[in-house]
Amino acid sequence: MERPRLTPRRFGAASEDFNHIDVRPYSTVIGAEIGGVDLSTPLEPATLAEIRRAFLDWKVLFFRGQHLTVVQHADLARHWGELYVNPHLPDAGIEQVARIVHDESDPGNENMWHSDATHWDKPPLGSLLRAVKVPEFGGDTLWADLGAAYDGLPQALKERLVGLTAIHTQPAPDALSAALLRRKGTRVRHSVAEHPLVREHPETGRPILFVNPVFTSHVVGLPSQDSSALLDLLFRQVSFPEYQVRFRWEVGSIAFWDNRSTVHYGVNDYFPSCRIMERATILGDRPFPPAAVGS
Ligand SMILES: [Fe+2]
């Protein structure tokens, strides 16, 4: 079995490159904790600009001790774009912030690697998730860097991916989710999207391996066996810890991730404890392929 290969970071900025925030990286490629900022107060343009830069560099930013109101939470997310109103989840007081509750009657179900809603033509740009109640232990979230995972592929495989697209489709709800949807009277709108296997990040220009095992069903134009073998290989590439970061939540913690360049996994190890999160999701744009093959 091949080992993961890490290439030198190409876009990450060092802590000393920031004057208005403290940036403490959690790993070589993905994830940084941001300090020296109070997100409940209006952000100075220079501070916001540095947060934007750190977001693109590190793909997921962590903040601690940020006890925001729901309105402050939504206002913060709106700096990045229009917010999604989730018809499947209860809201947290305003419709742009969803409330996600797991307890003994509704166990966590985020424990599969995925980017959010890649079955949409325009998947979300990102999400800002805030911890309201956390279990005493457990309930961490992991993110993986799809740009670093792409960089680590052998050149021949990168060339094989050029021009390929994949179908992303909503998986059928499991029995528990189906019961929940029925109880809420929510109709599931089935959507399917075709995206390039490798997309270019619209802001950094970086090539990204745009697949995930929840939504990506098959590669267009390949026999079923070849499609499954290729996707399994790519999913395995994303599974290496070298491309990942793991976050331990506290009440008031915020994780803000770039949904275009990461997948995430909510560890479901805290049942039957209660975990309550609130989430604002920023609408995104249509993925497009890179102009040239990265090396
Ligand atoms: Fe998710």
pLDDT tens track for 200-220: 999 999 999 999 999 999 999
Q: Quote the ligand 1 centre to 55 CA distance (angstroms).
A: 18
Which residue has tokens 């601690």? 64
Instruction: Report the pLDDT value the prediction gives residue 177, as an integer from 0 to 100.
Output: 60
* Model pLDDT, residue 65: 97
Q: How far is the CA of 128 from the centre of ligand 1 (A)?
A: 11
CA of 211 to the centre of ligand 1 (A): 14
CB 120 within 8 A of CB 222: no
DSSP 149-189: HHHTS-HHHHHHHTT-EEEEEPPPP-HHHHHHHHHHTPPP-
C-alpha 18 – ligand 1 centre gap (Å): 29
Confidence (pLDDT) at 72:
98
31-35 own/partner pairs: CB under 8 Å, 24+ apart? 31/58, 31/59, 31/60, 31/61, 31/62, 31/143, 31/245, 31/247, 32/57, 32/58, 32/60, 32/61, 32/62, 33/61, 33/62, 33/63, 33/64, 34/61, 34/62, 34/63, 35/63, 35/64
Residues known to be catalytic: 114, 116, 264, 279
pLDDT in tens, the chain (295 residues): 577 777 655 445 566 789 999 999 999 999 999 999 999 999 999 999 999 999 999 999 999 999 999 999 999 999 999 999 988 888 999 999 999 999 999 999 999 999 999 999 999 999 999 999 999 999 999 999 999 999 999 999 999 999 999 999 988 766 556 655 665 566 556 789 999 999 999 999 999 999 999 999 999 999 999 999 999 999 999 999 999 999 999 999 999 999 999 999 999 999 999 999 999 999 999 999 998 765 5
Ligand 1 centroid from CA 103, angstroms: 18
Provide the pLDDT for residue 4: 76
- Amino acid, single-letter form, for residue 181: L
In whole angstroms, give the CA distance from residue 168 to residue 161. 16
Ion ligand 1 residue ranges (Cβ < 5 Å)? 116
The rounded Å distance from CA 15 to ligand 1 centre is: 28
DSSP string for residues in 250-293: -TT-EEEEETTTEEEEE----TTS-EEEEEEEE--------SS-
DSSP reduced 3-state for 29: coil
Q: Distance of CA 278 to CAs 53, 69, 115, 177, 196, Å?
A: 24, 10, 17, 19, 31
Domain ranges of the chain: 15-282
183 burial level (CB within 10 Å; 0-12, 13-18, 19+): exposed
Whether domain 15-282 has CATH 3.60.130.10: the reply is yes
Give the per-residue pLDDT at 295: 53
- Between the CA of 116 and the centroid of ligand 1 the distance, in Å, is 5
pLDDT at 189: 62
pLDDT for the residue 89: 86
